[in-house]
Amino acid sequence: MTSREKVRRALAHQAGPVPVDFGSTGLTSLHVSCVAALRAHYGLDCHPVKVTEPFQMLGEVEDDLARALGSDCVAANGRGTMFGFPNEGWHEWRTPWGQVVLVAEGFRPREDASGDVYLFPEGDTTVAPSGHLPAGGYFFDAIVRQEPIDEDHLNAADNCEEFKLISTEDVAHWRREFARISGETRAVVSGIGGTGFGDIALVPAAFLKHPKGIRDITEWYVSLVDRRDYVHQVFAYQCEIALKNLATFAALAGDSIDVLMICGTDFGTQNSQFCSPATFDELYAPYYRQVNDWVHRHTPWKTFKHSCGAVRPLINRFIEVGFDILNPVQCSATDMDPVRLKADFGDRLVFWGGGVDTQHTLPFGTPAEVTAQVTARLRAFSPNGGFVFNTIHNVQARTPTANLIAMVDAVRAFNQAG
């Protein structure tokens, strides 16, 4: 059975070996420091790791490491980064923690005397920085560059400037990317961007030189209550562009991909939700339903929805609007017990993640504790398919290598035991 067949069986809720994903999305990957440590552990070629997403400082999981980790998925990557520059023109950069990595040409950091590092939208150092890596940190935070809000002259078009039709440069990129994965025996995960309505990570628009509209995170959440007409206008325009782009992308991709990453919008906190089910129904559901319906009418792809936190009260809504997959399945959040999630939703939803806690167990537990949690999660989620193993969100910087190996070995042992 190929890796792609394993994943497709899981997506179809059919029993079989549990497939694994490390690195197919910016939500299921590893910090660049962990990628380097794993390459060293497995005795792979020692060279600087590419930073595929500078915002979170995620490292490329190359084919040799993917084989060592038993990963069954591969990415068909878009052209750009969270900072608006393309992943091309690689050069070396030494991180504040001393690791030499490869970064794209547009990665032009400014480092100050305190050790803080700043990045710029589109790599343009003549404008205000949009990303900040604090001294002692391991990833960037978005810098809010909110212009003063004039309530009497708000224009929803200002929050729509990032939603554009796929360009000729993007078309050329996707043709190269699909040629690269031609004949791939792993499941292919991809995404076009612009389909995650209200994704708070994108609201500050670290990729725009002079973002207009509502770009402050607090103001955006206020807008969900006090400016709903404005938000509807943004979402309606975004949805219109997304549907046109999906048609273009589907014509390019054909049957090359298996899973389409739709949404990175977080709806859960550790203990509750960012919005009520009623707000989800009124504000988000109409647009997610259009996107998912289009994908399911025109392609065989499964749609992937990311949300951290305690989202159990919204899971039926996610299913009703057409999502096939939920990630990262934060089992440590309130009312997110894996056994109950599987019992209540496992026949209608694929759980992609949830395999081990990246806030506590994986970074701070012992290898034995990691093995125990991974094995328990596999037993909870794997019956009758519907589960792809991944951690709960990306593996964080400096996670002990022994714990990562314990995780990988536990999955392998579980599958071998049948």
Question: pLDDT for 247-281, tens place per residue?
Answer: 999 999 999 999 999 999 999 999 999 999 999 99
- Average pLDDT of the chain, as a whole number: 97
- Of 109, 143, 177, the position where a domain reaches its end is 143
Query: Tokens for 187?
Result: 């499941």
- 198 and 294 housed in the same domain: yes
- 228 and 109 housed in the same domain: no
pLDDT at 331 over 90: yes
Q: State the pLDDT confidence band at 418, using cuts at 50, 70 and 90.
A: confident
Query: Tokens for 310?
Result: 């305690």
- 18 and 52 housed in the same domain: no
- 84 and 159 housed in the same domain: no
Contacts within 8 Å (CB) and 24+ apart, 236-241: 236/287, 237/156, 237/157, 237/160, 237/163, 238/160, 238/163, 238/194, 238/197, 238/287, 239/197, 239/287, 239/290, 239/291, 241/163, 241/164, 241/165, 241/194
- 212 and 332 housed in the same domain: yes
CATH of the domain at 272: 3.20.20.210
- 165 and 271 housed in the same domain: yes
Based on the structure, what is the number of domains in the chain? 2
- 233 and 376 housed in the same domain: yes
- Of 93, 126, 143, the position where a domain reaches its end is 143
- 23 and 39 housed in the same domain: no
- Of 91, 116, 143, the position where a domain reaches its end is 143
Specify the pLDDT at position 59. Answer: 98
In this structure, the number of other CB atoms found within 10 A of the CB of residue 330 comes to 24
Domain residues for the domain of 111 are 31-143
- 109 and 136 housed in the same domain: yes
- 14 and 50 housed in the same domain: no
- 294 and 152 housed in the same domain: yes
- Per-residue pLDDT reduced to its tens digit, 65-92: 999 999 999 999 999 999 999 999 999 9
The answer to whether the CB of 162 falls within 8 A of the CB of 220 is no
Q: State the pLDDT confidence band at 58, using cuts at 50, 70 and 90.
A: very high
On whether the pTM is more than 0.85, the answer is: yes
